[in-house]
Amino acid sequence: MDAYYMNGAGNDFMVIDARGLELDFSALALRACAVNGADGFMAVDHSDIADFKLHFYNADGSRGEMCGNGARCICRFAYDMGIAGENMVVETDAGLVYGQRLSEDQYRVRLNTPGILDLHRKGDIAYVELGTPGVPHAVQLIPGLTWDDKEALHDAARKLRYDPAFPKGANVNMYDWIDESTIRILTYERGVEDYTLACGTGSASTAVVLWLNGKVPTGKLTVENPGGPLTVTISGKNGQVTDLTLEGPTEIVGRYSI
């Protein structure tokens, strides 16, 4: 079976076309991600309510509700493989996600709006789930954060990932401001159990927290991940997010037999 190795701002995945196949996705995720240390595994399947269905699994074989960069990559995969057109609808465990091809490598997805949002789940640490059920995210301001701090922050991030305040566990997003419209972020992801080069839903969850706190007045935030920049755009009213999009690069790196 062929698996395509892809990444979105450095967040990397092994991807297969599984339409019409009966497969053990958890076992495949473990095997495929071990080939090159990918963060996650994705399979395209038939859907009765969308252009196709996304099965997403973390590198440890656990199923994930959704993945923002994964969704952008799967949209490129679907377009390049002739599965869908330039505008598409993706069925995920967190709900329907709408994708759009902007150019050969740039893709935008309309993410699920927050199903759970608690700005003070653990002191000043916020908790966000995009969709229902959604990917769980903790959001924490770390003044002066640089990516060189990742080893010094590793133990604290891992401890927070398992904190009882987050019953499902949580991806831990640590951020600081670069300027009034740009943040730097570092994300420790459950299922990978380490930092990733980028996290789409983490970037979007962090942007939502900042928007609700009145710190993204334009509704547009650039999120600098170690693997590259992502753009999050938010609109809403009365403190409710009504539209949330994630935009950034995608890349098909190679193809492997698994």
Estimate the crossing angle of helix 200-212 against helix 68-80, to 10 degrees: 130
Go through the chain and tell me how many residues it has: 258
The answer to whether 39 and 189 are in contact (CB under 8 A) is: yes
DSSP secondary structure code for residue 167 in this structure: T
51, 90, 98, 126, 145 from 95: Cα distances, Å = 13, 8, 10, 22, 33
**Tokens found for residue 253:** 């790196």
- Peptide bond before residue 133 is cis, with ω within 30 degrees of 0: yes
**Tokens found for residue 193:** 């159990």
The set of residues, in sequence order, having a beta carbon less than 8 Å from that of 112 and lying 6+ positions away, is 66, 92, 94, 95, 96, 97, 130, 131, 132, 134, 244
The span from the CA of 248 to the CA of 184, in Å, is 15
Residues involved in catalysis: 67, 199
The answer to whether 40 and 69 are in contact (CB under 8 A) is: no
